Amino acid sequence: MTLIAIIAATLAAGIGSVWLAALLMRAGLGGRWRVGPQHLLSLAAGALLATAFMHLLPEAFESGAEAHDLFAGLLLGLVFFFVLEKAELWHHGHENGPQGAPHLHHDHGHAHSHGHEHHHHGKGGWTLLTGDSVHCFGDGVLIASAFVADLRLGLVAALSVLAHEVPHHIGDLVALRHRGGGRSMALLKVSLAGSVTALGGIAGYALVGHWDGALPYFLVVAASSFVYVALADLIPQLQKRLSAAQSLVQIGWLLLGISAVVLISRLVHAQGH
């Protein structure tokens, strides 16, 4: 039953985020509803931080594992993601050459190949899709770890992943459409990459299921991933000089992301009882 829930949730997060991104693009971001990429980034950052600090980390510490070891795991996870992102930046900088290298714009910095910049050239479309697939596989492992710990935690983690993937996939769809092939082909390619999330979920379920003692550390790694994405990638994109009203709206969307995670968690918990 847990495995079925993992597969359903990972498919919803992996492919559902792509389709939601496509729907938002078709509706026109910043149009009648005045919802733009900055709002989505704020929402995603709030959801990721709330999931990490209010769900994943408390669950890990309640397991009875040594607090010192868990904090060490959290620190090592943050450093690990930072090093991997630097390696990915170096790789693409080397690939494009030191002279006139294009600006690299990242929507997030997961440990699962963080190079999802949306300004590739030449054969970069395949680089983007390969990076997406590896990233989605890692998301699936993290979601599975949360589900093994608790069904409610798994659902919250899946929704948080979905939230932060939407602005990322908007960039992917725009990048692929600019390379030709049309809207439908871009949607198909990114959806196939998103479906790899389910493979990660199955692999994560098998790994955690055979190594129960590692579950708290998987949860800490998931938390460090969410914290790194929010603080190192999403929030820096929001640190722009804005008017007081625009800043309040931005903060409002951040708080909305936090509130949504708390509300969904309580609803699922109540449903479970």
pLDDT tens digits, one per residue of 11-50:
999 999 899 888 877 776 655 556 666 777 788 788 888 8
pLDDT averaged over every residue in the chain: 77
* Neighbouring residues of 124: CB distance < 8 A, sequence distance ≥ 6: none
Q: Is the pTM of the predicted complex or chain greater than 0.75?
A: no
255 versus 132: which is more confidently predicted? 255
> Is there a contact between 13 and 165 (Cβ–Cβ < 8 Å)?
yes
Residue 101, pLDDT score: 35
pLDDT at position 66 over 60:
yes
Q: How far is the C-alpha of 141 from the C-alpha of 137, rounded, in Å?
A: 7
**Cα dihedral: 219, 221, 222, 228 (round 10):** 140
Task: Determine the distance from the C-alpha atom of residue 206 to the mean position of all C-alpha atoms in its chain, rounded to a whole number.
Answer: 22
- Six-digit token string for 221: 């790694």
pLDDT at position 116 over 90:
no
Q: Where are the alpha helices (DSSP H) in the chain?
A: 2-14, 16-27, 37-51, 57-61, 67-96, 124-149, 151-178, 182-209, 215-228, 235-238, 244-272
Residue 143, pLDDT score: 92
User: Which of 4-8, 160-164, 208-212 bottoms out in mean pLDDT, i.e. has the lowest?
Assistant: 208-212
Quick one: which of 219, 248, 208 has its CA closest to 64?
219
Residue 268, pLDDT score: 59
Determine what percent of the chain is predicted with pLDDT higher than 70: 75
- Six-digit token string for 79: 């450093």
| CA-angle at 220, arms to 115 and 154, nearest 5° | 85
What does the pLDDT average to over 54-79? 88
Residue 7, pLDDT score: 94
Residue 92, pLDDT score: 55
